[in-house]
């Protein structure tokens, strides 16, 4: 008698969960597309452009809107928030260091003109890293939200 009602409820819950996960995956893809667009444009403008991870010459290839996200995706919305704010903080710190260091590096190498060029690089570095950190925050929150129903299910099953 109540089996049909229970089945209908589980079906609606499954539908809502699937719809929510699909929406989150669309948002994740959109965020990654936004992150990749500046690189695609810059590569068209300068075909010999060097990619420096996090703007550091000694590091591997990187993107203009470099990510500071951790490799493992967050299990739930709370972990997504912690990871997202950590990535935002790391990005902002790196950008502030650019604001501080780039003008002085430019002045050492090119005097007053080098200082001005370095100041421009610092502002650009801070801006792109602040945007990147914001994208990391959004991406981690969306991924955490998408993974929350699965995590709740695992907790209910005692995994």
**What pLDDT, on the 0 to 100 scale, is given for residue 103?**
92
Q: Can you tell me the distance from the alpha carbon of 98 to that of 125, in angstroms, rounded to the nearest whole number? A: 6
Q: How many CB atoms lie within 10 A of CB 132?
A: 27
**What pLDDT, on the 0 to 100 scale, is given for residue 77?**
93
Q: Can you tell me the distance from the alpha carbon of 61 to that of 14, in angstroms, rounded to the nearest whole number? A: 41
Structure tokens at 139: 């991406």
**What pLDDT, on the 0 to 100 scale, is given for residue 16?**
83
**What pLDDT, on the 0 to 100 scale, is given for residue 79?**
95
Cα–Cα distances in Å, from 79 out to 44, 72, 91, 138? 37, 11, 18, 13
Structure tokens at 64: 């203009």
Residue 69, SS3 per DSSP: coil
**What pLDDT, on the 0 to 100 scale, is given for residue 9?**
65
**What pLDDT, on the 0 to 100 scale, is given for residue 60?**
46
Which residues of the chain register pLDDT less than 50? 54-56, 59-60
All residues at 6 or more sequence positions from 95 whose CB lies less than 8 Å from its CB, including other chains: 125, 126, 127, 128, 129, 130, 133
């Amino acid at each position: 008698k109540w089996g049909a009602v229970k089945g209908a409820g589980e079906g609606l819950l499954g539908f809502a969960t699937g719809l929510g996960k699909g929406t989150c995956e669309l948002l994740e893809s959109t965020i990654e597309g936004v992150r990749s667009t500046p690189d695609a444009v810059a590569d068209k403008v300068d075909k010999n452009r060097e990619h420096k991870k996090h703007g550091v010459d000694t590091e591997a290839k990187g993107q203009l809107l470099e990510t500071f996200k951790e490799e493992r995706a967050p299990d739930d919305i709370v972990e997504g928030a912690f990871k997202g704010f950590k990535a935002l903080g790391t990005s902002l710190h790196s950008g502030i260091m650019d604001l501080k260091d780039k003008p002085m590096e430019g002045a050492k190498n090119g005097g007053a003109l080098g200082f001005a060029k370095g100041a421009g690089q610092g502002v650009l570095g801070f801006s792109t890293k602040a945007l990147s950190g914001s994208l990391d925050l959004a991406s981690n929150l969306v991924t955490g939200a998408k993974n929350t129903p699965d995590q709740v299910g695992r907790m209910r099953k005692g995994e």
